[in-house]
Structures are given as C-alpha cells and as structure tokens.
Amino acid sequence: MDAFNTPITLPMSYSFTSSGGSTSSGTAANTNINPWMDSRIWSKLPQRLIDRVIAFLPPPDFFRARAVCKRWYGLLFSSSFLELYLQISPRRHWFLFFKHKSLKSYIYRNSGGGSDRANCEGYLFDPYSNSWYRLSFSLIPSGFSPASSSGGLICWVSDEAGPKGLFLCNPLVGSLSQLPPTLRPRLFPSIGLTVTPSSIDVAVAGDDLISPYAVKNLTTESFHIDGGGFYSIWGTTSSLPRLCSLESGRMVHVQGRFYCMNYSPFSVLAYDIAANNWWKIQAPMRRFLRSPSLVESRGRLILVATVEKSKLNVPKSLRIWGLQACGTTWVEIERMPQQLYLQFAEVEGSQGFDCVGHGEFIAIMIRGSDKALLFNIYGKTWQWIPPCPFLSGSGGSSSSSGEGCELHGFAYEPRLATPVTTLLDQLTLPFQPFNG
C-alpha cells in the first residue's frame, strides 16, 4: 500500500481530453450549471448510495475520484466499502500487455548480470472504450517475468533455472504475495493459475531440468489453498502424457481444468485439477494448423489458428473452434473474412501470433511487433487495436526499445481488492522472502 501514501498518487498513468472552455470563477459556473447537477440536490444523497455509485466506477475513474475529498481517498482502505465493491462492482473483461523479449533470450544470459527491468510496467487495455493505461510493477524484483493471471492477480515466475519462485501481484493496490518455491528444478515451465474468492490453484508443468544442459517435459506439481483450511504446497504431483511436447507458456483454465497446446503433432493437453490427471484431445485439422492458441471465453475452451492446405485448393484462413461439452470434438465458430485475412497475413509475414481471450473478446497479437487484432465473438466484429501510446509516445517507436520485443497479453479483470491473498499470510512457509 506504499504507493498510496501521497494524496494523489495513482497506480496507473492515463491521458484524457479536456472538455473545452472553463469558467473564470465559481459564480459563473453556477449560473450555467445543468439543473440536474445542482449541488443542493446531490449534497443530500445518502453516503451509502454514493458509495454504491462509486463502486460501479471503472478503476481509472475511481482513482481520479479519490482526489476529490479525504473520505473518498480513504475508500480504498475501508473494509465496508471494499466488501460492497466485491459484491456489486461489474466484471470488466480487459487485457494487460507486457513488452518483453522471447524466452530464448534469457536462457544463456549471465545470471549475475545487470538489472533488466523491461517487465516493470504493463499496458492495460479497455476493449469497450479502446483506452490504454499504464500500470507500474515496481515492487516486482528483477529476474521475474509475468506468466499467468486470474481474479485480478498477475503471477510472476523467476527466470533463473532451478526451483521456481512465484509472486502474486495486484497492481492496482500494490499488493505482493509470495508463494514457496517449487520442489523440482525447471527452466521455463508452463504456468496455470486460477483464483476464486476463496481459493488459489497454481500448476507448474514441464521443462523439468534433468541436467544442467537438458530439459524434458515429465511432471506437473500443484499448489492449492482455500478458505476451508486445506492447502497443498506443491505436494501434489502428476506425470505428463508420454512424448508430450508442450512449449513453454501459460495454461488456460476452463471449468476446473487447465489446457495447453501440445506440438509435433498438434493436440491439446488437458489437466483435471481435482482428479490430478492429464490426457490428450485431438486438435481439429491438426496437420494444417499454424500458430495454434488456446483461449477461454465465457467458460468455453476456444482454439484459434491459421489453416494452410498447401496441396489442396482451399484458401488460407484464420479459424476459430470451440470445444464441445463432450470434451473431445470441436465445432468451427468463426472464420476471419478473407479480405481481412489477406491484410492480416501481410502484416504478420509468417512470424506467427499468440492469442488471449477474455469475456466476449479475443486479442490476436502478432509476434515480433506491437500490433494486435481484436475479435468480438458475440458481436462478430473484427478491429485493429489502436497503438499503445506508451510504446510510441516518449522515446520514439516501439522498434527502438530493442530487437525482438513484442506484446504478450493476459486476460485481466481489474479489482480494488483481492482478499483471498490473505490466505497465503496464514501459512508458515520454510522459505526466505525476497528483499525486492
């Protein structure tokens, strides 16, 4: 909470447009004021009703409103207001992007080297208003990268090979909770995170460090804690399916299961958290897919990929499939319009792309660039995401920030409070805290 010691400190940077001319005095303003905004009416509004109105504000507006008066400033620390906020505040299906280099750039770096803090800030995107905000992650120690997100928390994992350290961070309120390190040494495993109001589940899979020079996808270890007093500190382990080839990355959580892509040939790996077992699901058109990505949308698993049938007279396209309730078959949901696909393919240039889904939106990020496309599943609309002003504003274009930099996106639901993290403080953990 140190970020909020000063009266108008905000966790996010933003820009807004002035509404035009302003009056020279309070008297002039009162003569032209809209009668519906008469302070003599609004000043009589009960505080509990005002609090309900404030609880509906988007986070950027809430933090601006805190500068109005001492009471509003203190709402962030009010238990009664935060309880109300958690009950009635609408869910916001936003995205959080980070700019960092690919994992390969970390593998042979000097472990005792400089302070690369390329991940110390993120870029929050509101798909409803096409607005960008900048979030600070200054509390995160160097040598950690964002790996997954859920329930208003971002999971950061250590880059160094060995037992993995993890942090859960709520950037809006500056909270930081540490998990114990994993039991098995790994390089760049896939990370799954799901957070509910009363529980936290984390799964770390693959990239087992079997020697200082070799890794293999062998095992999964899980962390669980809930409000009922049950916890498992990486004590639950399971074997991955034989000959699986999952690339390092995050997992997607859908209705009690984690999913990730399997390569050579393409298939989908599914992990049931409660049953603690893995299995494979055949991917649609697996021999003709390129850059397949798994995303979650409204409780459903979605697969996004381009289809390229080089030997058949079938136009190349980007397609979207949904996994059926039976858990084994896929149904095509949507296909990118051909004219848009030609434009997309020209921008993408066969570099590949990654996807992330949240609510009714799917964001498609082109690798090696800061360009992204947004698809609304229910509105059936496609649009290019406007450029992030924080990448091209100060310091020139994004290309000047270093070769190989790109945007990695996460589904992010901004929350002013994540009380479930207090469960971690109740554990007696045999590890030393970082000194940031």
pTM of the model: 0.83
In the chain, domain spans: 2-16+30-88, 94-110+118-425
Residue pointed to by tokens 């004590």: 235
For domain 94-110+118-425, which CATH number applies: 2.120.10.80, 2.60.40.10, 3.40.50.620, 2.20.28.120? 2.120.10.80
Predicted confidence at residue 111, as pLDDT, reads 37
CA distances from 95 to 102, 245, 362 (A): 20, 28, 10
C-alpha of 342 from chain center: 29
Mean pLDDT, consecutive 10-residue stretches, the chain (436 aa), reads 36 40 40 66 84 92 91 92 93 89 42 47 92 90 92 94 94 91 94 94 94 91 91 89 85 94 90 93 89 92 88 80 93 94 91 93 90 93 92 46 66 93 75 46
Is 420:198 a contact under the CB 8 Å cutoff? Answer: yes
Q: Is 375 exposed, middle or buried (0-12, 13-18, 19+ CB in 10 A)?
A: buried
Predicted confidence at residue 22, as pLDDT, reads 38
Predicted confidence at residue 231, as pLDDT, reads 86
Predicted confidence at residue 311, as pLDDT, reads 64
pLDDT tens-digit profile of 296-347?
Answer: 998 999 999 998 876 666 778 999 999 999 989 999 999 999 999 999 999 9
